[in-house]
Structure 1
Amino acid sequence: MTRTTSHAFRQPFRSLEEFAEMISFYLHCPVTIEDANHQLLAYSTHGDGADEARISTIISRRVPEKLINRFWKDGIIPALNQTREPVRVPEIQEFGLGSRVAVSIWKHDEVLGYIWVSDHQQKLLDTEIELLKDAAATAKQELLKLSRQRKQTHKSRQELLWQLLLGDYSDRIHSELYLAQIQSNDPVFISILVFEEQDEESKRHIEYMLQASYQDTIPLFLWDDRKLICLVKAKDVQDRRLFLQKLTGQLQERFVIKQKESCCGSFVNGYDSISKSYQEAIHILSLKKRYPEELDTAHIYQDLGVFKYVDQLSEAICIHPGIELIKDYDTKQGTQLFETLVLLLKRDGNMNEVAKQLHVHVNTLTYRVKRLESIGNFSLKDPSDRMGLYLDLIMMDK
């Protein structure tokens, strides 16, 4: 094949499918065209040249998640996102993937999509590799049109999610939910992730991850400053903690994105209860901000423990008088009894752990406990006294 055939792609074509067939004709190999999130846009006929991975991609209209993960681990997708040159992809037998050559479709510094050529039956020549680069340049305009359409769809779905979060249900919400593949009685929950970074590049990385690997699980999401708010389908996510671990783990593994906080509201059945799950998630974040040490590992509502009731307690709560007596004693005697009390309550009376943190012997700590109980007129062995004192300390920090 000569270099003059590079002009073959300058002729008009009626659809991406026709363009995929055109590329396949000149390269003599099956071709697929994907968007930047690995959704299948078009594919050529393949005769007997289809492997298992190609068939699976065509049936589901996107690249299987396990294959996307493997491409990331093998450095294939990072390479495609960094160069305009075609990238050779070796065979991966366990996933039924024959050898490939892939090239990115670029607009300035943004990847719009990819062209994949299955060449496991007939390896591409260097001249055909150059031809593939021309095909990627020609595909840019078609993918730009699709990109604009999808951005508009994403904007309308952000507005839909805000309606659900705020409990504002219009008459047309049923049809909008249907288009977003959400049934009115689907079990769902709201998840919120807070990130330290909020630049546009980081956001694009995160959105790529959601659209490429979580489209079925997270049909709707939006940004509220540095907070990523997701509507999560419960069907494929039985454990909210595992969901958060998987999502944040993959983001950090692939993009080194710093995630600050994460939490989930309760499971709810039906879109009319989504605002309840959202309010719970917001409440968790609010409490984690006020009590960062105590609630460091709290990610769902049940993790809050007694902190669930902090806002329900009266502002005029009567603090145990023994606390002020202990503070006065510390001021006059130069002791650290109040610090000891705080640690004992936070560590649930674990004497060895508290002694280690205070750098004192357990016998010394035992003496301090007796002084605390004597001065404060309470018993740290009594669950009622201990819980009451702990709530008092929480309210003092409110």
Structure 2
Amino acid sequence: MTQTTSHVFRQPFRSLEEFAEMVSYYLHCPVTIEDANHQLLAYSTHGDGADKARISTIISRRVPEKLINRFWKDGIIPTLNQTREPVRVPEIKEFDLGSRVAVSIWKHQEVLGYIWVSDHLQKLTDTDLLLLKEAAATAKQELLKLSRQRKQTHKSRTELLWQLILGDESEQIHSELHLAQMQPDERVFVSLFVFEEQDEEARRHIDYMLQASYQDTIPLFLWDEHQLVCLVKADGVQSRHYFLKKLTGQLQERFVIKQKESCSGSYVAGFHHISESYQEAKQILSLKKRYPEELDTAHTFSDLGVFKYIDQIPQGTKVHPGIERIVEYDKKQGTQLYETLVLFLKKDGNTNEVAKQLHVHVNTLTYRIKRLESIGRFLLKDPAQRMGLYLDLLLSRK
């Protein structure tokens, strides 16, 4: 057992690896040091006492995502991000994780990283916990150096993504893809997430999650005001819909962040086409803003249906004159035939659904449809005419 807590770590060390070994020597337990995004920075030797969770972390150089998620659900990471005291982490058998003690490394109000001590073979004493706090204070300077380096790298990655989504095809782009660990012909897509107004702390939370849990899937991301732009590796997701649902769900679960919209552009192969996926995603957002009710569940271009053609219709195209006749008839007679027409077209002619929403009998609706056809001089049973009228209604709202 340790007998002193008097500045034992305030001695020269050449690297974080050497420091990790020093901490392990005084605490008699295996030690790992991570950055704020759970990337492994250094670790001590561990003899025969390592559990599978530690070995997996060392092999992949980062904490497994499923374990990070569990730590969030169990309140471990939120606690570490709020206190400077060591936090005891109980055994999690399903992940073969023995008991641990963790402590955060702080600079003012910012967490720079964590020190984890595997104490399942020998529990840390109160004196050991004081030593662990001292170790965290000593490690701060080394992590500050790494933090400055990584902020510069993040800036470079942000600039790289701007170049990619804006269609810059210079040779320099090709040589810088290594920043994102991407191949020139890799299959990717662009996703956009729109949030309500966020402060810097909320953005840091989102950045943290992307770097901690999605590093292999989202190699590049940036903020454009309240919009988050993500470049996503296609091989890392089951589908675009699943990806959007999973990421937005985790953001809301962990950070209670209010998100307004999300969408994804098409899959593209090669960095030369990334701008195409980005422009497509922007078009989806634009249409969702113009037609929020109709496109509430649309998240990809294929979800848009007929709306994907709305911007291709020439300006000045005349709508069916029968629509104006129905509007005029409603004004003179005090009827609601236009409302019935709109709902009938939205429901694609499903009379039961329309009657239910209008709170009328199907027979009453059948009479109204006959009046609509008579006044408008169109045939609602004809799919082509019905689709044309629906487009006309949309055009009248442009």
Same fold (TM over 0.5): yes
Give the letter for the 1:382 counterpart. D
CA distance in 1, matches of 2:301, 2:181: 27
Residue 2 of structure 1: how far off its partner (Å): 5.8
Distance (Å, rounded) in 2 between the aligned partners of 1:191 and 1:183: 19
Equivalences for 1:1-398 in 2 at 5 Å? 1=1, 4-398=4-398
SS of equivalent residue, structure 1 residue 7:
coil
Q: Secondary structure at the match of 1:348?
A: coil
Question: Which shows bigger deviation, 22-31 or 352-361?
Answer: 352-361
Q: Give distance in 1, aligned partners of 2:180 and 2:333.
A: 67
User: Residue 286 of structure 1 aligns to which amino acid in structure 2?
Assistant: S
Alpha-carbon distance, 1:3 to partner: 6.0
Give aligned pairs, total.
398
Deviations 1:336-394 (A, max 9, x none): 00011001001111212212222222211111111000100111100111001000000
Instruction: Give the Cα separation in 2 of the matches to 1:130 and 1:5.
Output: 7
Separation (CA, whole Å) in 2 of partners of 1:260 and 1:179? 30
- Measured against aligned partners, the alpha-carbon deviations of 1:80-117 in whole angstroms (never above 9, x if no partner) come to 11111101011111111111000011111111100000
CA contact (8 A) 2:217 2:233 kept: yes
Contact 1:188 1:234 in 2 (8 A): yes
- Cα separation, 2, equivalents of 1:343 and 1:179: 51
| Alpha-carbon distance between aligned partners in 2 of 1:41 and 1:348, rounded to the nearest angstrom | 58
Cα RMSD (Å) of the superposition? 1.0
- Cα deviation, 1:105-152, whole Å, max 9, x if unaligned, reads 111111110000000110001100111011111111111111111011
> What SS does the aligned partner of 2:7 have?
helix
Any conservation in 1 of the 2:5–2:127 contact (CA below 8 Å)?
no
Alpha-carbon separation, structure 2, partners of 1:71 and 1:38: 11
Letter in 2 for 1:123: K
Taking every aligned residue pair, what percent have the same amino acid on both sides? Answer: 80
Question: 1: distance between equivalents of 2:6 and 2:197?
Answer: 43
SS at match of 2:236: coil
1:2 and 1:140 map into 2 onto residues whose CA distance is 23
TM-score, structure 1 normalization: 0.98
State the SS of the aligned residue for 1:216: coil
Task: Identify unmatched segments of 5+ residues in structure 2.
Answer: none
Distance of 1:228 and 1:6 partners within structure 2: 47
CA distance in 2, matches of 1:277, 1:318: 32
| Runs ≥4 residues deviating over 2 A | 1-6
Deviations 1:297-343 (A, max 9, x none): 01000011111111110111121111111111101101000011001
Q: Unaligned 5+ residue runs, structure 1? A: none
CA distance in 2, matches of 1:20, 1:241: 42
Single out whichever of 11-20 and 59-68 deviates more from structure 2: 11-20
Deviations 1:146-205 (A, max 9, x none): 111101100000000011001112222222102320000110000001111321111111
Is contact 1:29–1:119 with CA below 8 Å preserved after alignment? yes
Cα distance in structure 2, aligned partners of 1:339 and 1:168: 48
TM-score (norm 2): 0.98
Paired residues of 1:86 and 1:103 also in contact (CA < 8 A): yes
Output the CA distance in 1 between the equivalents of 2:335 and 2:87: 69
Contact 1:49/1:121 (<8 A) preserved: yes
Contact 1:197 1:257 in 2 (8 A): no
